[in-house]
A and B are shown apart, each in its own frame.
Chain A
Amino acid sequence: MRIIVCVKQICQVYARSGMDPRSWFVAPEDKVYRVNPFDEAALQLAAKVKGALARTEIRLLTLGPLIAEAELRRGVAMAGADELIQLVSQTAPDPWAKSLILARAVKMIGADLVLCGKEALDTRHGQVGAFLARHLEVPFVSSIKNLEISPDGATAKVERSARKGVGEIWESPVPAVFSVDIGRDALPYPSNEAKKRAEALPLRIRSFSDEPVPLTTHLGIEPPRPRPIKIPAPDSSLPAFERVGQLFLGSRIEKKGLILSGTPESQVEGIVSFLRDHSLLK
């Protein structure tokens, strides 16, 4: 059985600690380049199938530039993948065009099962899996959490969570496309040997001469409203305009203030010395 796992490398913005509104307050160190966690869950399920079913091979498919190659190779090690394929596209495609590129690659490689994350953490479209199933004309189940392939490799039994606490079990013929949600099991931890093997795995680069035409056009990004990590009361000595400005500037509001700690006596002394220093007490 050949399983193709579509993996997206994302740039996760975990904080907005910058001071520049033009970059939406994102400083360079606020980003982490990693593999989409839902795709890691898909890798986990693929590894599980590989462990249960003999003669299973896993191929990793990634679209776009290698922004997180180390993490990608860690994913290879985690799943015990046999091949790593990068698809290169010149344009910045929409989910439709992305799924077309992926579908071409999947058809070219040939697969019994295609797994992908239910959505990417950075764009949150959640469409590529469904579109891919449509292009390949195979069944599709979304947000699965567990996967079992019958011993003859003809059908797949999948579990997905429908709503709070309710699980659904579906059966689907194989080949099929499943999109994967993060399940209960902990992700496998790659051993040192697996990591070494993954680092040595050659990267196959594929590109297609004719780029598919996107159906939709991406116009721009609406930046998030700056959210300060901690909002102390704005400095009341400033005019209202500047106070509002401070709040909008977001993450770091410098405010002069003193929080006293220690024994009650030392706190009292702190208050008294503060009042003295500001000549409020003589």
Chain B
Amino acid sequence: MFTAFDPLLIATALLIMVVGTRRRWSFWRKGRSENRPGDWKGLSGYLLFQKKILKGGWGGIAHMVLFWGVLIPLVVIVLAQFAFVMRPGPAHALAFILDLAGAAAMAGVLFFLVRRAARSFKTSGVSSEMPWPAALLFLILLSGFIAQGTRLNLVPAPFWTAPVGWLFSRVSPSSPLALQLAIRLHFFAVLGLFALLPFTSLRHVPAGALNVYYRRKGPRGVLRPVSFEKGPLGAKSTADLTWKQLLEAEACVSCGRCEQNCPAFLSGKKLSPRNLMGKIFKQLEAPESSLAGEAVSLEEIWSCTTCMACVAHCPLYIEPMDKVVDMRRYEILGKGAAPVEARPMLRDLELFGDVNGKGISRRTDWALNLGVPILSATSEQPQVLLWIGCSGAFHPKYRETARNMVKILKRAGVSFAILGGEEGCCGDPARRLGEESLFLDLARKNILRWQRHCFKKIVALCPHCFNTLKNEYPVVAEKMGTEARTEIEVVHASEFLLNIIEGKQITLKYPVKGQAAIHDPCYLGRANGIYAPLRKIVKAIPGLSLRELERSGEKGFCCGGGGGGMWLHETKGVHINGLRAAEIAGSGVGLVSTACPYCLTMLEDGLNALELERPIKVEDIIDIVSGSLG
């Protein structure tokens, strides 16, 4: 089959591929250093089962069949070039498998081509790259089947060995010349595909696999720390991103799953995580040109709610969110260009240590006359430390929730205490807005205050505090030195409530009638994977039935309050909380349960703005439990 010329052709194609790949990889390898352990087991499991990709519906299935439908024939045909004799039985079976695999790949590639054509009629949601790889794959498969059909015409074989090939044999010619032509076309197209690999979106095959190999372990809600000692703060251009972040841009195939779940994009903001990755990719070759503020507009940078929907939905474990945060860091730390609406809040954090600017003296006002024990140097070690957070201490509605939590804990006989004036803002709003130095300041103060007291477990009311205390404080504490306490266990109030309900420490006696929907807070769900407690508690409450919203669990939709969104104005498009409120109103529930002060406020505002005839109540899970408490 081989002519003398063919090895040369193969070598050329492979050379083009290797040189092209080396050139592309030289771009992302120039990124700033970062320590990332690799994971062979994770990668092989990912490639084998493609669970993450399969979450995307038909596209995922098409990818699966295309992947195996290309890989199996590729391996078999390459091996078949080393002509060895096989008995007719196994040979027929192999031919059958090859035929099926080819048909599967054909279906997959047709799906992608049709989807691509359908999407290009819409203005958005389509990549700017031409679908050359898919077209080439189609050509490969078509020429392969025609060759098979022609061969079947020339050398008949049992029908079942190649059903699809048999179908093609009906329309294929039966001349040796045609067979040779089809095989040559097939061969050249395969070589073309290999040569084109680094220059088209096919580069996601090596880069994506590598990105999965180096993917994040542990909770999603942890941001990369800023090194204040060396280099510019935040990301002004792609030169300031780490190699992992650049590799992600290299691996992105613009599938658009991030965009379809991004609250900012869906509410009509300019930000699209997919376009963001595309912009970073374009700038890979020109790392000097400015990214933040130029290629990526300020509107895009400030309309992210850091809800991590893009991170959760990316089939290739790409994290567009942390690039947004890095650009925010450059805007605030590097340029001092904090958004005007957020400046008073940041100033309050600096001066008073809380987002409301009320000061530590007023931090225990919510607990007036409630007999809430405040932890002091002399008091006994409580079972749990209740972390109230700024919202619990100052927000008029969430103060009630804090009081309800106290009521539940007292009823359950749990010994608890609060830090009172020694509790400061955890620093989450500052950090998600990019004010890393303020966050570090607040975090260090809190960690130092913790050292004065004796406690082992923190129950946090707010998911943002919870995520920060649990995942981000250990990193800060580690840098502070050995004295910092890192062994403290942090749980969210909903987990703790579920524990005491399941431990029969409280009885839920009074029924709450109706149906409740659950709005998953991003920093509880997507950031830390805690979905079950809210649902189990709602089911445990007599009379209350659970109704899942269309977007819930990992697909949960942000309320618009995270990432400093609580303090930023939404000037473009519609309000994010309005979108979520409309979804809730459409589901026909009478009660929405959430577990986050931001969600509570944003959803209440959104639902009030709808002016429904039958208003829908928004309550924290703590309020619902306390209302039903016997």
Do the beta carbons of A230 and B368 come within 8 Å of each other? Answer: yes
Do the beta carbons of A266 and B510 come within 8 Å of each other? Answer: yes
Residues of A within 8 A of B626 (CB): 261-262
Given A186-B340, A187-B347: A17 touches B362 (CB 8 Å cut-off) = yes
Do the beta carbons of B340 and A266 come within 8 Å of each other? Answer: no
Do the beta carbons of B437 and A192 come within 8 Å of each other? Answer: yes
Given A190-B336, A194-B336, A262-B510: A15 touches B362 (CB 8 Å cut-off) = yes
B427-450 interface with A by 8 A CB criterion: 437
Bound-complex Cα distance A27 to B360 (A):
11
- Our pick among A30, A190, A193, A255 for the contact of B361 (Cβ within 8 Å) is A30
Do the beta carbons of A189 and B368 come within 8 Å of each other? Answer: no
Given A192-B437, A194-B336, A266-B630: A229 touches B510 (CB 8 Å cut-off) = no
B563-579 interface with A by 8 A CB criterion: none
Residues of A within 8 A of B136 (CB): none
B363-388 interface with A by 8 A CB criterion: 365, 368-369
What is the predominant secondary structure among interface residues of chain A facing chain B? loop
Bound-complex Cα distance A193 to B289 (A):
21
Given A29-B421, A187-B343, A265-B510: A15 touches B361 (CB 8 Å cut-off) = yes
Complex: chain A residue closest to B226, CB-CB: A192
Do the beta carbons of B404 and A266 come within 8 Å of each other? Answer: no
Residues of B within 8 A of A192 (CB): 228, 233, 333-334, 437
Bound-complex Cα distance A191 to B331 (A):
9
Kindly provide the distance from the CB of B371 to the nearest chain A CB, expressed in whole angstroms.
9
Complex: chain A residue closest to B344, CB-CB: A186
Is A257 on the interface with B (CB-CB < 8 A)?
yes
Bound-complex Cα distance A187 to B337 (A):
11
Is B512 on the interface with A (CB-CB < 8 A)?
yes
- Our pick among A190, A232, A261 for the contact of B404 (Cβ within 8 Å) is A261
Q: B324-343 CB contact bits vs A (8 Å, 1 = yes)? A: 00000000111111101001
Complex: chain A residue closest to B341, CB-CB: A186
Residues of A within 8 A of B403 (CB): 261
Q: A162-200 CB contact bits vs B (8 Å, 1 = yes)? A: 000000000000000000000000111111111100000
Count of chain A residues with a beta carbon within 8 Å of a chain B beta carbon: 32
Complex: chain B residue closest to A263, CB-CB: B510
Do the beta carbons of B365 and A229 come within 8 Å of each other? Answer: yes
Residues of A within 8 A of B368 (CB): 230, 252
Do the beta carbons of A263 and B627 come within 8 Å of each other? Answer: yes
Q: A199-235 CB contact bits vs B (8 Å, 1 = yes)? A: 0000000000000000000000000000001101000
Residues of B within 8 A of A74 (CB): 350
Do the beta carbons of A189 and B338 come within 8 Å of each other? Answer: yes
Residues of A within 8 A of B50 (CB): none
A10-40 interface with B by 8 A CB criterion: 14-15, 17, 27, 29-30, 32, 34
Kindly provide the distance from the CB of A137 to the nearest chain B CB, expressed in whole angstroms.
37
Complex: chain B residue closest to A80, CB-CB: B336
Do the beta carbons of A193 and B627 come within 8 Å of each other? Answer: no
- Our pick among B346, B359, B630 for the contact of A189 (Cβ within 8 Å) is B346
Residues of B within 8 A of A188 (CB): 336
Is B400 on the interface with A (CB-CB < 8 A)?
yes
Kindly provide the distance from the CB of B180 to the nearest chain A CB, expressed in whole angstroms.
69
Is B189 on the interface with A (CB-CB < 8 A)?
no
Is A254 on the interface with B (CB-CB < 8 A)?
yes
Do the beta carbons of B359 and A14 come within 8 Å of each other? Answer: yes
Is B164 on the interface with A (CB-CB < 8 A)?
no
Bound-complex Cα distance A263 to B346 (A):
39
Kindly provide the distance from the CB of A274 to the nearest chain B CB, expressed in whole angstroms.
14
Do the beta carbons of A27 and B361 come within 8 Å of each other? Answer: yes
Complex: chain B residue closest to A78, CB-CB: B336
Is B21 on the interface with A (CB-CB < 8 A)?
no
Residues of A within 8 A of B359 (CB): 14-15, 29-30, 32
Residues of B within 8 A of A257 (CB): 369
Q: A51-67 CB contact bits vs B (8 Å, 1 = yes)? A: 00000000000000000
Bound-complex Cα distance A126 to B362 (A):
30
Complex: chain A residue closest to B368, CB-CB: A230
Do the beta carbons of A255 and B369 come within 8 Å of each other? Answer: yes
- Our pick among A14, A30, A266 for the contact of B628 (Cβ within 8 Å) is A266
Do the beta carbons of A261 and B627 come within 8 Å of each other? Answer: yes
- Our pick among B336, B361, B369, B512 for the contact of A191 (Cβ within 8 Å) is B336
Is B454 on the interface with A (CB-CB < 8 A)?
no
Is B255 on the interface with A (CB-CB < 8 A)?
no
Is B71 on the interface with A (CB-CB < 8 A)?
no
Kindly provide the distance from the CB of A134 to the nearest chain B CB, expressed in whole angstroms.
34
Is B351 on the interface with A (CB-CB < 8 A)?
yes
Is B67 on the interface with A (CB-CB < 8 A)?
no
Bound-complex Cα distance A187 to B359 (A):
21
Interface centre among A29, A74, A262 (most CB of B within 10 A): A262
Complex: chain B residue closest to A193, CB-CB: B334
Bound-complex Cα distance A229 to B629 (A):
31
Do the beta carbons of B512 and A229 come within 8 Å of each other? Answer: no
Given A27-B361, A32-B359, A262-B510: A191 touches B334 (CB 8 Å cut-off) = yes
Bound-complex Cα distance A278 to B630 (A):
20
Interface centre among B334, B361, B626 (most CB of A within 10 A): B361
Complex: chain A residue closest to B337, CB-CB: A189
Bound-complex Cα distance A29 to B361 (A):
6
B293-350 interface with A by 8 A CB criterion: 332-338, 340, 343-344, 346-347, 350
Do the beta carbons of A262 and B335 come within 8 Å of each other? Answer: no
A228-257 interface with B by 8 A CB criterion: 229-230, 232, 252, 254-257
Residues of A within 8 A of B344 (CB): 186
- Our pick among B362, B407, B437 for the contact of A229 (Cβ within 8 Å) is B362
Beyond the given A186-B343, A193-B334, A266-B627, please list 10 additional residue pairs across the A-B interface where CB-CB is below 8 A: A29-B421, A30-B359, A32-B352, A189-B337, A189-B338, A190-B336, A230-B368, A261-B400, A262-B629, A263-B510
A-B contact pairs, 13 of them (CB 8 A): A15-B361, A15-B362, A17-B362, A74-B350, A188-B336, A191-B336, A192-B334, A193-B334, A230-B368, A252-B368, A261-B627, A262-B627, A263-B511
Which residues of B pack against A, CB within 8 Å?
Answer: 228, 233, 332-338, 340, 343-344, 346-347, 350-352, 358-362, 365, 368-369, 400, 403-404, 407, 421, 437, 509-512, 626-630
3 pairs of A and B residues whose beta carbons are closest in the complex: A191-B336, A262-B627, A15-B361
